[in-house]
Amino acid sequence: MKRCLFLSFVLLVVFLFAACGSGNDDGIETTGNSEEAAGDVTVNEEETAMVEITNGEGQKVGTAELEQTDAGVLIRLEASGLEPGTHGFHIHETGKCEAPKFESAGGHFNPVDASHGVDHEKGPHAGDLPNIEVGEDGAAQTEVTADQVTLKQGEQNSLLSEAGTALIIHAKADDNISQPAGDAGDRIACGVISKALPDK
């Protein structure tokens, strides 16, 4: 009798272990699917952009990271080797940075033909950004959200158009009202946000 009870107990334990093992297999499979799904989730190239900023001598003086948010495009700028003081900072309409004057970047990014400056009654340009402050050590670090632009392709105000766009740092402060560029002076640094597509 005891032997029968013992064998019954052993069989019950084996059955329970088999059932638990089967449950674990299901758990592993589910976790594997979750990890596979997470692995498949990649940051859309339209959602972020990295920009290398160079001066008129072709030397790298900074970087900017752009990220699409619900409020617009968040721009994180880190720069060095600049003249101390206040400098204009804009998005320009063409993704070309030909030194030393960077005139190849065209005017401010302005897809709706507005006037320049946040203080102008018909402004601002979509590419108008707040001035940046450069310390005595020549370095600047700032975050700003450009709320009239997007990194989503195909939109009128997209920074990732065929012509591309560029970030420009100017020699002087932007007065936020003078036309067409806030009397901000020479273009002293430039970085391509998106390169123009090759000619077909």
Structural domain boundaries, residue 8: 1-41
Measured CA to CA, the distance from residue 18 to residue 136 in angstroms comes to: 71
Give the count of alpha carbons within 13 A of 58, CB side only.
1
Q: Worst-scoring range by mean pLDDT, 36-50, 64-78, 101-115, 152-166? A: 36-50
Number of folded domains in the chain? Answer: 2
Answer whether residue 108 is part of any domain. Answer: yes
Mean pLDDT of 65-77: 94
Judged against a pLDDT cut of 50, whether residue 90 lies above it is answered with yes
Judged against a pLDDT cut of 80, whether residue 156 lies above it is answered with yes
- pLDDT at 121 (0 to 100): 74
Residues 6+ apart with CB under 8 A from 193: 49, 51, 66, 91, 95, 159, 160, 164, 165, 166, 167
Can you read off the two tokens belonging to residue 195? 């390169």
Answer whether residue 199 is part of any domain. Answer: no
What's the pTM?
Answer: 0.73
170, 184 contact by CB (below 8 A): yes
182 versus 84: the higher-pLDDT residue is 84
Measured CA to CA, the distance from residue 12 to residue 141 in angstroms comes to: 68
- Say whether both 127 and 189 belong to one domain: yes
- pLDDT at 162 (0 to 100): 85
Helix or strand run (H / E) with residue 195? none
Answer whether residue 200 is part of any domain. Answer: no
- pLDDT at 126 (0 to 100): 87
**Burial class, 197, CB count within 10 angstroms (exposed 0-12 / middle 13-18 / buried 19+):** exposed
**Burial class, 189, CB count within 10 angstroms (exposed 0-12 / middle 13-18 / buried 19+):** buried
- Say whether both 31 and 56 belong to one domain: no
Q: What is the CATH number of the domain that holds 136?
A: 2.60.40.200
- Say whether both 148 and 108 belong to one domain: yes
The SS3 call for residue 170 is strand
- pLDDT at 141 (0 to 100): 95
- pLDDT at 11 (0 to 100): 52
Q: What's the mean per-residue pLDDT of the chain?
A: 79
Query: Where are the alpha helices (H) located in the chain, listed in sequence order?
Result: 2-40
- pLDDT at 30 (0 to 100): 25
The SS3 call for residue 73 is strand
